[in-house]
Amino acid sequence: MTSTTCATVYGYPRQGNKRELKKAVEGYWGDGNVDILLQTAQDLRAERLHLLRDAGLDEIPSNDFSLYDHVLDTAWMFGAIPDRHQQAVPDISTPGGRLDRYFAMARGTAEVAPLEMTKWFDTNYHYLVPELGSDAQFTLDASKPIAEFNEAKEAGVVTRPVILGPISFLLLAKAEQEGIDGFEPLTLLDRLLPRYAELLQRLHGAGAEWVQLDEPALVTDQPPAVLAHAARAYAALTSGSDRPKILVASYFDRLGEALPVLAASAVEGLALDFTGPAAANLDALAAIGGLPGKRLVAGVVDGRNIWLADLPRALSILDTLAGLADRVDVAASCSLLHVPLDVTLERELDRQVKGWFSFARQKLDEIVMLARGISGGRDAIAGDLRVNAARRGARQSSPIVHVDAVRERAAAVGDAELHRTSPYTKRREAQQDRLHLPVLPTTTIGSFPQTAELRNARAALRSGALDRDGYNAAMETEIRSVVEAQEEIGLDVLVHGEPERNDMVQYFAEQLDGFLATAHGWVQSYGTRYVRPPIILGDVSRPEPMTVRWASYAQSLTERPMKGMLTGPVTMLAWSFVRDDQPLGDTALQVALALRDEVRDLEAAGIAVIQVDEPALRETLPLRQADRGEYLTWAVEAFRLTTSGVSDGTQIHTHMCYAEFGDVVQAIIDLDADVISLEAARSEMAVVDDLAEASYPNEVGPGVWDIHSPRVPSVNEMTMRLRAAVAAFPAARLWVNPDCGLKTRGYTEVRASLRNTVAAARSVRAGL
> What does the pLDDT look like over 33-46, one tens digit per residue?
999 999 999 999 99
Q: What is the pLDDT of residue 179?
A: 53
For residue 559, the enclosing domain spans: 425-451+490-766
Distance, in Å, from the CA atom of 751 to the CA atom of 755, rounded to the nearest integer, reads: 6
Q: Percent of the chain at pLDDT above 70?
A: 99
Type of residue found at 46: A
Our CA dihedral for 526, 532, 533, 534, rounded to 10 degrees, sits at -170
Query: Looking at the chain, how many residues does it have?
Result: 768
Q: What's the CATH code of the domain at 445? A: 3.20.20.210
Neighbours of 716 (CB within 10 A): 12
Q: What is the 3-state secondary structure (H, E, C) of 533-588?
A: CCEEEEEEECCCCCCHHHHHHHHCCCCCCEEEEEECHHHHHHCCECCCCCCHHHHH
**521: Cα within 13 Å, side-chain hemisphere:** 25
Average pLDDT over residues 382-398: 96
The per-residue pLDDT for range 544-558, each reduced to its tens digit, is 999 999 999 999 999
* Assigned domain for 9 exists: no
Is pLDDT at 503 greater than 90 in this prediction?
Answer: no
Structural domain tally of the chain?
Answer: 1
677: helix, coil or strand? strand
* Assigned domain for 513 exists: yes
Mean pLDDT of the chain: 95
Is pLDDT at 118 greater than 90 in this prediction?
Answer: no
**Residue 334 and residue 273 in contact, taking contact as beta carbons nearer than 8 Å:** yes
Average pLDDT over residues 181-192: 92
Q: Which of 85, 496, 520, 708 is catalytic?
A: 708
Cβ density class 131-157: b for 16+ within 10 Å, e for less = bbbeebebeeebebbbebbebbeeeeb
* Assigned domain for 600 exists: yes
- Give the model's confidence band at 690: pLDDT under 50 very low, under 70 low, under 90 confident, else very high: confident
Q: What is the pLDDT of residue 686?
A: 83
Neighbours of 585 (CB within 10 A): 15
* Assigned domain for 693 exists: yes
Q: What is the pLDDT of residue 703?
A: 93
- Give the model's confidence band at 180: pLDDT under 50 very low, under 70 low, under 90 confident, else very high: low
Is pLDDT at 724 greater than 90 in this prediction?
Answer: yes
* Assigned domain for 561 exists: yes
Q: Who has greater pLDDT, 49 or 621? A: 49
Sequence-distant (≥ 6) Cβ neighbours of residue 767 within 8 angstroms? none
Angle subtended at Cα 99 by Cα 94 and Cα 100, rounded to the nearest 5 degrees: 95
- Please tell me the least confidently modeled range out of 368-377, 417-426, 707-716: 707-716
Task: Give the pairing of strands 513-516 and 535-541.
Answer: antiparallel
Is pLDDT at 401 greater than 60 in this prediction?
Answer: yes
Is pLDDT at 1 greater than 70 in this prediction?
Answer: no
How is residue 448 annotated by DSSP?
-
Q: Who has greater pLDDT, 295 or 2? A: 295
- Give the model's confidence band at 619: pLDDT under 50 very low, under 70 low, under 90 confident, else very high: confident
The per-residue pLDDT for range 563-606, each reduced to its tens digit, is 999 999 999 999 999 999 999 999 999 999 999 999 999 999 99
Neighbours of 172 (CB within 10 A): 21
Angle subtended at Cα 450 by Cα 449 and Cα 454, rounded to the nearest 5 degrees: 135
**Residue 547 and residue 593 in contact, taking contact as beta carbons nearer than 8 Å:** no
**126 carries an active-site annotation:** no
* Assigned domain for 339 exists: no
Q: What is the pLDDT of residue 181?
A: 63
- Give the model's confidence band at 508: pLDDT under 50 very low, under 70 low, under 90 confident, else very high: very high
* Assigned domain for 371 exists: no
Is the Cα torsion angle 288, 289, 290, 293 positive or negative in sign? negative
Distance, in Å, from the CA atom of 604 to the CA atom of 596, rounded to the nearest integer, reads: 12
Burial class (CB in 10 A: 0-12, 13-18, 19+), 720: middle
How is residue 447 annotated by DSSP?
B
**548: Cα within 13 Å, side-chain hemisphere:** 13
Q: Which residues pair with 42 in a beta bridge?
A: none
Q: What is the pLDDT of residue 659?
A: 62
* Assigned domain for 758 exists: yes
Is pLDDT at 3 greater than 60 in this prediction?
Answer: no
Highest mean pLDDT (candidates 156-170, 442-456, 667-681): 156-170
Type of residue found at 734: L
Average pLDDT over residues 620-645: 96
Q: Which residues pair with 175 in a beta bridge?
A: 132
- Give the model's confidence band at 757: pLDDT under 50 very low, under 70 low, under 90 confident, else very high: very high
Q: Percent of the chain at pLDDT above 90?
A: 90
Cβ density class 453-481: b for 16+ within 10 Å, e for less = ebeebbeebeeeebeeeebbebbbebbbe
